[in-house]
Amino acid sequence: MSRSESRAQAVFEITTGEPIAAAKPKSLEEIWASDVFTLVKMESALSKSAFRAMKKTMETGAALAPDVADDVAAAMKTWALSKGANYFAHVFYPLTGASAEKHDSFIVTDASGKAITEFSGSLLTKGEPDGSSFPNGGIRKTNAARGYTFWDPTSPAFILDTENGATLCIPSVFVSWTGEALDKKVPLMRSNAAMNAAGTKVLKLMGEQEVAPLNSSCGAEQEYFLVDSTFANLRPDLLLAGRTLFGAPPAKGQEFDDHYFGAIPERVQVYMEAVEETLYRLGIPAKTRHNEVAPGQFEIAPYFESANVAADHQQMLMTVLKNTARKHGFVCLLHEKPFAGINGSGKHVNWSVGNATQGNLLDPGATPYENLNFLLFCGAVIRGVHLYGPLLRAAIASAGNDHRLGANEAPPAILSVYLGGEIEAIFEQIKDGKLDGAGESGIMDLGLSQIIPFAKDSGDRNRTSPFAFTGNRFEFRAVGSQQSVSGPLIAMNTMLADSLNWIAEKLDAELTAGTDKPAAVVAVLKALMAEHGQVIFGGDGYSAEWHRMAVEERGLLNLPTTADALPYLKDESIKALFARTGVLSSVELESRYEVYAEVYILSIAVEARLAVDIAKTIIYPAAMRYLSDLADTSASVAGMGIELDATTAKTIAAESNAMMSAVARLAEAFRKEDFASTEEHMQYCAGVIRGLMDEVRLHADALEAEIADEQWPLPKYREMLFIK
């Protein structure tokens, strides 16, 4: 069957096939966290003292004695075997942004050759995967490939069911044999500790007697596309790059906005329910689901959790989305921009900090101007985003996200803070050294007596801001859909820690000088606003005016591509920030830069090779076939004295030639290897390679518009987006 016949066959099969029937919904009680080794399960399985120790560690991060690990290991093994798991795996989070696991069996043989199961505290605590194939940015030579994983007792172990059986998964950190972090978990935990120390200092200065450990929280909204796998299998670009490198825009795109929050197609709903059931079993609190802006695009958002656990859960969620899709005949695309001209996918990272004694410190309460703790923590965020905007930008830099940021439908690549009317007004007052209640938001009155009245929110939502205050948390909206949330969380916690340390110092000086507390807070925040207030922006972040004003008047940086943003990881101020807070040593930071740069360069190289391959071997042949058909027809009707208009044939010939010329230049361009630096190489990818890919695409998409539909060899946008 030819490609174009396969395409027609795919449409037929998808539209006539029997969808997977919805499974009978199970009660939440029955399935909630059934595959997780929770504290509740530990309570009945562990000795009293071991349980108490585990609980304390999970709740406060307190150190755990090695003998407790023996107890936990024994109980974990019994539980895992009862769930049918014969294997255990340390799950860790290398710098690729993916999850990794190395499976080991519980089974050993005794002296008589009998198989018995074994799982000790030391096996639970420490693993030694062959780390040589994980990126390390030069920290380890391949001949010194040792890497260790260590159990993170604060993130619960769980059972993962796969086609190959069940495995006990143990969330772990991953470090080199010299002790450097090679993963995303170590710095996330360190950043949390740094934030806790700094925040505690501030709260104590504010006179809080009791201050429980502070923790950061994260609730991530995940956007994704679903494409029928029969179509996806006919698109090498979707399979290998996760996005379409070609495809003319469909006659109808998203301009009607009729997909956003529309009724979820039945087949998709069945899929979502299957995803949710798996997530519930894993103790992941999936909370909202809906259609997104683009056709074929959806969103899932779990309820927020502590950042460390949420990050592990987010990785699982992406895996579950992809694996479940396969079972339902879909491919789940997590790429930031699977379809040109159609909205891309992001991952809004909602983030806050709080503790058991003071609650959520980014919750302003009913009278924000009286909530001094809130104002200090909010001020700390403002300072952080202003000082470390480039770090935040670098933390979300990737080849995929470059298609989104600054592309007029996603947050701009300029980092600013949106506070909302009421809070912004308070900080404006603080600039003048004042602090008296700003305008109340009041009650919303719809003029309908049957609708229960409710208080107005203190601010709208600004969809054009990359970093927005949303009532009791900040929402980092510029994160890419396939990225790990850990990078952004590390950056946010660390910048917050630094700002809180700065605030503590200033506050201490004011209080020591005898200033009363409210006046001291205003004085510190006034100084902060004088230096950093220009990062606050409530207007339209997409507008050209903002792009000009941000850069020219406010001195903010516009870093449109990864090539522009990543080098900031090597900036002295960023190095100093991470060193000062103890989150990453300069060796660790540099290795990260190397890894991320390499991943960027490699992703673009893969795409470039694919573009050449598809243009040459799929699109060009289709164009030539159709051209030859036109020529044959023209010749045969000429015999009847009919002269056919040759415009189409000429256009096809011209576009084909132009495409192949661009293909030749692209193929030549990615052979270049002599770069003076990694930065130069990245800039070359962002500029030259991507530019040539766009050129190839332009002509290929023009061909799609000319060639007979029944001969077009790749599933079209309208099919992939609209046929489910």
Which residues of the chain form contacts with Mg ion (CB under 5 A)? 221, 348
Please identify, among the stretches 211-219, 237-245, 598-606, 612-620, the one whose residues bind ligand ADP according to the rule CB under 6 A: 211-219
CA 178 to CA 264: how far, in whole Å?
A: 51
* Furthest-apart CA atoms within the chain: distance in Å: 104
Least CB distance from residue 251 to ligand ADP, whole Å?
Answer: 30
Counting every residue, how long is the chain?
Answer: 724
DSSP string covering 428-486? HHHHTT---------EE--S-TTSPPEEPPSS---TT-SEEE-SSSEEETT-BTTS-SH
CB of 197 to Mg ion, least distance (A): 30
Residues 95-124 interacting with ligand ADP (rule: CB under 6 A): none
**Closest residue to ligand ADP using C-beta atoms:** 219
- Of the pair 54, 218, the CB lying nearest ligand ADP is at 218
Name the binder of 303 from ligand ADP, Mg ion, none, CB < 5-8 A by kind: ligand ADP
Binding of residue 352 to ligand ADP (CB under 6 A): yes
Site for ligand ADP in 37-76 (CB under 6 A): none
The pair phi, psi for residue 444, each rounded to 5°, is -80, 125
Nearer to ligand ADP, 472 or 683 (CB): 472
- Shortest distance, CB of residue 543 to Mg ion, whole angstroms? 21
- When CB distances are held under 5 to 8 angstroms depending on the partner's kind, the choice from Mg ion, ligand ADP, none that residue 472 binds is ligand ADP
CB contact at 8 A, 8 and 710: yes
C-beta of 297 vs 350, nearer to ligand ADP: 350
Q: Which is nearer to ligand ADP, 101 or 312 (CB)?
A: 312
Nearest distance from C-beta of residue 271 to Mg ion, angstroms: 22
Residue 219 vs 384, nearer CB to ligand ADP: 219
Strands (E), 568-718: none
Spatial separation of the C-alpha atoms in residues 421 and 282, rounded to whole Å: 40
Q: Which listed option, ligand ADP, Mg ion, none, makes contact with residue 360 (CB within 5 to 8 Å by class)?
A: ligand ADP
332 binds, among ligand ADP, Mg ion, none (CB under 5 to 8 A by kind): none
Residue whose CB is less far from Mg ion, 58 or 405: 405
Question: Which partner, Mg ion, ligand ADP, none, binds residue 352 by CB below 5 to 8 Å per kind?
Answer: ligand ADP
Rounded CA separation 558/548 (Å): 10
Nearer to ligand ADP by Cβ, of 313 and 506: the residue is: 313
Q: Shortest Cβ distance from residue 302 to ligand ADP (Å)?
A: 6
Residue 522, CA distances (Å) to 339, 431, 537, 538 in order: 49, 9, 21, 22
Nearest to 189 by CA among 284, 285, 122, 93: 93
Cβ-based neighbour number of residue 4 at 10 Å: 20
Residues 6 or more apart from 581 whose CB is under 8 A from it? Answer: 190, 191, 194, 494, 497, 498, 501
Q: How far apart are the first and last CA of the chain?
A: 23
Residues 291-310 that bind ligand ADP (CB under 6 A): 301-304
215 lies in the binding site for ligand ADP (CB under 6 A): no
The interface partner of residue 351, options being Mg ion, ligand ADP, none and the CB cut-off 5 to 8 Å by kind, is ligand ADP
Burial letters 381-418, b for 16+ CB under 10 A, else e: bbbbbbbbbbbbbbbbbbbbbbbbbbbebbbbbbbbbb
Q: Which does 261 bind (CB under 5 to 8 A by kind): Mg ion, ligand ADP, none?
A: none
Nearer to Mg ion, 334 or 610 (CB): 334
* Residue number with the smallest Cβ distance to Mg ion: 348
Q: Which does 678 bind (CB under 5 to 8 A by kind): Mg ion, ligand ADP, none?
A: none
**Number of chain positions touching ligand ADP (CB under 6 A):** 15
Burial 574-604 (b: 16+ CB within 10 A, else e): bbebbeebebbeeebbbbbbbbbbbbbbebb
Give the residue among 141, 568, 616, 275 at the shortest CA–CA distance from 394: 568
Which of 351, 377, 469, 502 is the binder for ligand ADP (CB under 6 A)? 351
Contact criterion met (CB below 8 Å) for 93 and 315:
yes
The number of helix segments (H) and strand segments (E) in the chain equals: 24, 19
Q: Is position 360 an interface residue for ligand ADP (rule: CB under 6 A)?
A: yes
Rounded to whole angstroms, the Cα distance separating 498 from 490 reads 12
Instruction: Closer to ligand ADP by CB, 189 or 300: give it.
Output: 300
- Whichever of 419 and 430 has its CB closer to ligand ADP, that residue is 419
State yes or no: residue 288 binds ligand ADP (CB under 6 A): yes
The option from ligand ADP, Mg ion, none interacting with 304 (CB < 5 to 8 A, set by class) reads ligand ADP
d(CA 405, CA 480): 9
Place of tokens 């604060």: 154
Q: What is the 3-state secondary structure (H, E, C) of 169-222?
A: EEEEEEEECCCCECECHHHHHHHHHHHHHHHHHHHHHCCCCCCCCCEEEEEEEE
Contacts with 505 (C-beta within 8 Å, 6 or more apart), sequence order: none
Cβ-based nearer residue to ligand ADP, 287 or 434? 287
**Minimum CB–partner distance for residue 304 and ligand ADP (Å):** 3
Residue from the set 215, 230, 350, 401 that interacts with ligand ADP by CB under 6 A: 350
Q: Which amino acid is at 626?
A: Y
Contacts with 514 (C-beta within 8 Å, 6 or more apart), sequence order: none
Task: Return the DSSP state at 23.
Answer: P
Gap between the Cα atoms of 128 and 104, Å rounded: 11
Query: Is there a contact between 234 and 715 (Cβ–Cβ < 8 Å)?
Result: yes
Minimum distance of Mg ion from residue 125's CB (angstroms)? 38
Question: Can residue 603 be called a binding residue for ligand ADP (CB under 6 A)?
Answer: no
- At closest approach, how far in Å is the CB of 399 from ligand ADP? 26
Minimal distance, residue 373 CB to ligand ADP, in Å? 15
CB of 488 to Mg ion, least distance (A): 14
- Using CB under 6 A as the binding rule, whether residue 260 contacts ligand ADP is answered as no
Residue span 217-256 as binding mask against ligand ADP, x where in contact by CB under 6 A, dash where not: xxx-x-----------------------------------
For the CB of residue 584, give the shortest distance to ligand ADP in the complex, in Å.
23
Cα angle 588, 594, 596 (rounded to 5 degrees) comes to 100
Q: Which stretch binds ligand ADP (CB under 6 A): 103-111, 135-143, 196-204, 345-353?
A: 345-353
CB of 613 to Mg ion, least distance (A): 38
Specify the residue, 299 or 719, whose C-beta has the smaller distance to Mg ion: 299
User: Which residue lies nearer to ligand ADP by CB, 35 or 221?
Assistant: 221
Question: Which one of ligand ADP, Mg ion, none interacts with residue 315, CB within 5 to 8 A by kind?
Answer: none
Which listed option, ligand ADP, Mg ion, none, makes contact with residue 681 (CB within 5 to 8 Å by class)?
Answer: none
Residues 455-494 that bind ligand ADP (CB under 6 A): 472-473
In terms of CB distance, is 348 or 403 closer to Mg ion? 348
Q: Is 675 in the site for ligand ADP (CB under 6 A)?
A: no
| Chain positions contacting ligand ADP, by CB under 6 A | 217-219, 221, 288, 301-304, 350-352, 360, 472-473
